[in-house]
C-alpha cells in the first residue's frame, strides 16, 4: 500500500516538474513534497539513492497499525481524503519550486485541513514538525484552519493549528533548502528513528 502511494507520489512530482518546465522555460525547476520540507534535507537524497531502505520502516507493526487507523479515519470523516494540493513559487531569479501536499482529510467548504497521526503516547502539546506540516497544507489550499488529530491506544487528542505562512516565508525556506542552508538533521531526534542512518555520513547517536 505504502509502496504504491510512493510510486504515485513520484509520478505526481514528475508531472508537476514537467508542467513547470513548460510554463517557465529556461528556469531551474525543483519539486518538493510537504514532508520533505519538514524533515532532514538528507532524507530526500537517500530516499532516491536507497529506495529499499525507505520501505524497511513500513513493515513495522506500529506503522501498519497507523496506516489502518489512517484509512479508517478518512472514510469515517465523510470528507475529501488523500486530497492533493500543489502550488508553485518563484524563489529566485529564474528558479521556480513546485510544492505538493497529500492532505489526509480536507473540508473544502470550511477551508479546514486535518492531519491524522498515530502515536504510542499522547503528548500535552503537538509536535513542532507536525504543526509545520499543517501550516504548509494551509498555504497550499489557502485554507483557514488546520487540525492535528493524534490517535493512540489510550485515546485521542486534537489540536487546532493556525498561522498560515505567507508565500515569502515559504519561498525563503525553500531557497535555503535548495542551496544546502538547512541543517541536517533538521531535528535532534531524527537520526535515532531514521531508516537511512546506517548509510548516512551525518548519523550521530549523541
Domains, the chain: 2-199 (3.90.320.10)
For the segment 171-196, the average pLDDT, to the nearest whole number, is 92
Long-range contacts of 78-86 (CB under 8 A, 24+ apart): 79/105, 79/106, 79/107, 79/114, 80/105, 80/106, 80/107, 80/108, 81/105, 81/106, 84/12, 85/137, 85/140, 85/141, 86/12, 86/16, 86/140
If 0-12 CB within 10 Å is exposed, 13-18 middle and 19+ buried, where does residue 185 land? buried
Task: Note the pLDDT tens digit of each residue in 101-126.
Answer: 999 999 999 999 999 998 888 888 99
Indicate yes or no: pTM above 0.85.
yes
Strand duo 95-107 + 155-161: pairing: unpaired
Checking if the pLDDT of 57 tops 70, the result is no
Name the grid cell of 64.
501498519
User: In terms of pLDDT, which residue wins out, 205 or 161?
Assistant: 161
Alpha carbon separation from 129 to 3, 36, 59, 186 (Å, rounded):
23, 11, 23, 10
Amino acid at each position: 500500500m505504502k509502496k504504491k502511494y510512493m510510486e504515485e507520489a513520484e509520478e505526481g512530482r514528475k508531472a508537476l516538474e514537467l508542467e513547470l518546465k513548460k510554463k517557465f522555460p529556461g528556469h531551474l525547476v525543483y519539486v518538493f513534497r510537504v514532508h520533505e520540507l519538514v524533515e532532514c534535507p538528507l532524507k530526500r537524497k537517500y530516499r532516491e539513492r536507497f529506495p529499499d531502505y525507505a520501505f524497511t520502516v513500513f513493515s513495522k507493526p506500529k506503522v501498519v497499525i497507523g496506516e489502518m487507523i489512517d484509512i479508517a479515519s478518512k472514510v469515517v470523516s465523510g470528507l475529501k481524503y488523500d486530497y492533493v494540493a500543489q502550488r508553485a513559487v518563484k524563489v529566485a531569479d529564474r528558479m521556480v519550486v513546485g510544492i505538493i501536499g497529500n492532505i489526509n482529510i480536507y473540508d473544502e467548504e470550511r477551508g479546514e485541513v486535518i492531519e491524522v497521526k498515530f502515536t504510542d503516547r499522547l503528548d500535552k502539546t503537538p509536535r513542532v514538525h507536525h504543526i509545520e506540516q499543517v501550516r504548509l497544507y494551509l498555504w497550499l489550499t489557502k485554507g483557514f484552519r488546520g487540525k492535528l488529530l493524534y490517535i493512540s491506544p489510550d485515546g485521542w487528542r486534537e489540536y487546532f493549528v493556525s498561522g498560515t505562512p505567507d508565500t515569502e516565508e515559504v519561498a525563503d525556506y525553500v531557497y535555503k533548502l535548495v542551496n544546502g542552508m538547512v541543517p541536517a538533521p533538521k531535528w535532534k531526534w531524527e537520526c535515532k528513528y531514521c531508516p537511512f542512518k546506517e548509510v548516512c555520513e551525518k548519523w550521530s547517536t549523541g
